[in-house]
């Protein structure tokens, strides 16, 4: 199986070591080990035997994860080395060449590319507005039929922060039930809704052939732990995923699971702090775009740590971001590498140094007339 290129990750890899500030990371401010562990807990970690772990994942962590869902128990959760491993494992164990898959687009690359590489027939659910990334669920429903094997979507949406309503989610579930299709719901940014946006229930709570994937990278700022999970009530899906891993990672490393489990004890506190930061940075971004409205137009998000901004300079967004990196050592993601308009920029709202990045961007914009 030959996997296609991964433009977003390639963009990050090319910028690695070249930027001082990022305005595009999709996670929240990273935590340190000392933020998670007290002195006694650090001693426990230091004395932890580094033997093999468990195939399903650390029991304490699975219990904490299961509490995020209304209908799941710890045995309905399988821990992985990050959400990307969940995506790859699920696709490899449930899809075959020729299967018809309806996938929201734009979406995180591996959700589409893995199914493509397997040889599936991809049907894209595109937004009604390519610049704001608003989606019409009735259009998705019209794309489904008796041949639909899987429906894939992501809300809060990466990169736009757009949402659908709970009624619209139920309509998707009813469509999947009608055609006996599976659902794969990328819920990496769930729990980071803005105050005016209601929270969607996890797909795995409302449909027994739905899988919800999430982790600690985005919401808790623990991307370095590489801890994600697959959550579903469907025992067949869990069994296939678990047995596939016998041939790959076998199990997820125990020290990182222990750190994740400790962080989950402070889950609500961390989320409250991160939502507050996102709201603060969004207000900064709104004022910044108004100040530079000749170049920037913000399409406000409804949830999550990201937003899209339309830039109206004479450059494409790719050229814009490359020049910003070269001249100001600020990293921004252009729309092109995410499969959206190359007039758009992905803005990350979850970091503490957001204002410093904006200051560099302002200096860059002030030089724009001369550059043009």
Note whether 141 and 173 are same-domain residues: yes
Do residues 165 and 249 both lie within one domain?
yes
Domain identity same for 58 and 82? yes
The pTM score is 0.96
Question: Closest Cα to residue 259, out of 300, 213, 225, 299?
Answer: 225
Strand partners, 297: 310
Residues 268-279 have pLDDT tens digits of: 999 999 999 999
- Average predicted confidence (pLDDT) for the chain: 96
Q: What is the pLDDT of residue 372?
A: 41
**What is residue 369's predicted lDDT score, i.e. its pLDDT?**
64
Token pair of 172, please?
A: 């998707």
The C-alpha angle 272, 275, 276, rounded to 5 degrees, equals: 85
* pLDDT at residue 266 tops 90: yes
Q: Measured between alpha carbons, how far is 256 from 26 in angstroms, rounded to an integer? A: 21
Q: Residue 184's domain spans which residues? A: 33-265
CATH number of the domain enclosing 329: 3.90.1150.10
- pLDDT (tens digit per residue) in 177-200: 999 999 999 999 999 999 999 999
Q: What per-residue confidence (pLDDT) applies to 1?
A: 81
Q: Which CATH number does the domain housing residue 185 bear?
A: 3.40.640.10
Residue 143 lies inside a defined structural domain of this protein: yes
- Domains contained in the chain, number: 2
Would you say residue 1 lies in a domain?
A: no
**Judgement on whether residues 44 and 17 belong to the same structural domain of the protein:** no
Contact present, 102 and 123 (Cβ < 8 Å): yes
Domain final residue, candidates 249, 265, 281: 265
Query: Does 153 lie in the same domain as 14?
Result: no
Residues 160 and 210 in one domain: yes
pLDDT of 371 strictly over 50: no
Q: Would the pLDDT of 205 be above 70?
A: yes
The residue from 265, 280, 299 where one domain ends is 265
**Boundary (domain end) residue, out of 265, 293, 308:** 265
Residue 2 covered by a domain: no
Residue 31 · residue 221 · CB < 8 Å: yes
SS (H, E, C) the chain: CCCCCCHHHHHHHHHCCCCCEECCCCCCCCCCHHHHCCHHHHHHHHCCCCCCCCCCCCHHHHHHHHCCCCCCCHHHEEEECCHHHHHHHHHHHHCCCCCEEEEECCCCHHHHHHHHHHCCEEEEECCCECCCCECCHHHHHHHCCCCEEEEEEECCCCCCCCCCCHHHHHHHHHHHHHHCCEEEEECCCCCCECCCCCCCCCHHHHCCCEEEEEECCCCCCCHHHCCEEEECCCHHHHHHHHHHHHHCCCCCCHHHHHHHHHHHCCHHHHHHHHHHHHHHHHHHHHHHHHHCCCCEEEECCCECCEEEEEECCCCCHHHHHHHHHHHHCEECEEHHHHCCCCCEEEEECCCCCHHHHHHHHHHHHHCHHHHC
pLDDT higher than 60, residue 370:
no
The Cα 93–Cα 242 span in angstroms is 10
Claim to verify: residue 145 and residue 198 sit in the same structural domain:
yes
Considering the domain architecture, whether residues 184 and 42 belong to the same structural domain is answered as yes
Q: Tell me: the pLDDT tens digits for 220-256? A: 999 999 999 999 999 999 999 999 999 999 999 999 9
């Amino acid at each position: 199986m030959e996997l296609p290129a991964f433009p977003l990750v390639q963009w990050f890899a090319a910028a690695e070591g070249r930027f001082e500030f990022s305005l595009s990371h999709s996670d929240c401010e990273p935590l340190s080990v000392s933020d998670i562990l007290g002195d006694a807990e650090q001693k426990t970690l230091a004395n932890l035997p580094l033997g093999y772990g468990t195939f399903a994942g650390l029991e304490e962590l699975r219990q904490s994860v299961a509490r995020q869902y209304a209908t799941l128990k710890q045995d309905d959760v399988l821990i992985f080395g990050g959400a990307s491993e969940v995506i790859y494992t699920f696709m490899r164990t449930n899809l075959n060449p020729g299967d018809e898959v309806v996938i929201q687009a734009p979406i995180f690359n591996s959700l589409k590319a893995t199914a493509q590489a397997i040889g599936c027939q991809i049907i894209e659910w595109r937004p009604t507005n390519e610049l704001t990334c608003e989606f019409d669920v009735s259009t998705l429903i019209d794309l489904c039929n008796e041949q639909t094997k899987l429906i894939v979507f992501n809300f809060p949406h990466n990169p736009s922060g757009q949402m659908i309503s709970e009624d619209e989610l139920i309509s998707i579930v009813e469509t999947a039930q009608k055609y006996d299709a599976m659902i794969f719901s990328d819920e990496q940014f769930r729990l980071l809704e803005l105050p005016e946006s209601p929270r969607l229930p996890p797909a795995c709570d409302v449909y027994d052939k739905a899988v919800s994937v999430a982790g600690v990278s985005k919401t808790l700022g623990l991307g370095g732990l590489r801890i994600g999970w697959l959550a579903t009530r469907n025992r067949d899906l869990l069994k296939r995923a678990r047995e596939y891993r016998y041939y790959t990672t076998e199990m997820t490393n125990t020290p990182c699971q222990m750190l994740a489990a400790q962080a989950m004890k402070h889950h609500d506190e961390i989320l409250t702090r991160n939502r507050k930061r996102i709201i603060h940075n969004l207000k900064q971004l709104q004022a910044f775009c108004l100040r530079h409205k000749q170049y920037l137009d913000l399409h406000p998000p409804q949830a999550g740590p990201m937003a899209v901004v339309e830039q109206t300079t004479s450059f494409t967004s790719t050229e814009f971001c490359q020049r910003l990196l070269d001249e100001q050592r600020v990293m921004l993601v252009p729309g092109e590498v995410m499969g959206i308009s190359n007039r758009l920029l992905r803005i990350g709202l979850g970091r503490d140094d957001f204002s410093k990045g904006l200051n560099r961007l302002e200096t860059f914009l002030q030089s724009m007339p001369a550059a043009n």
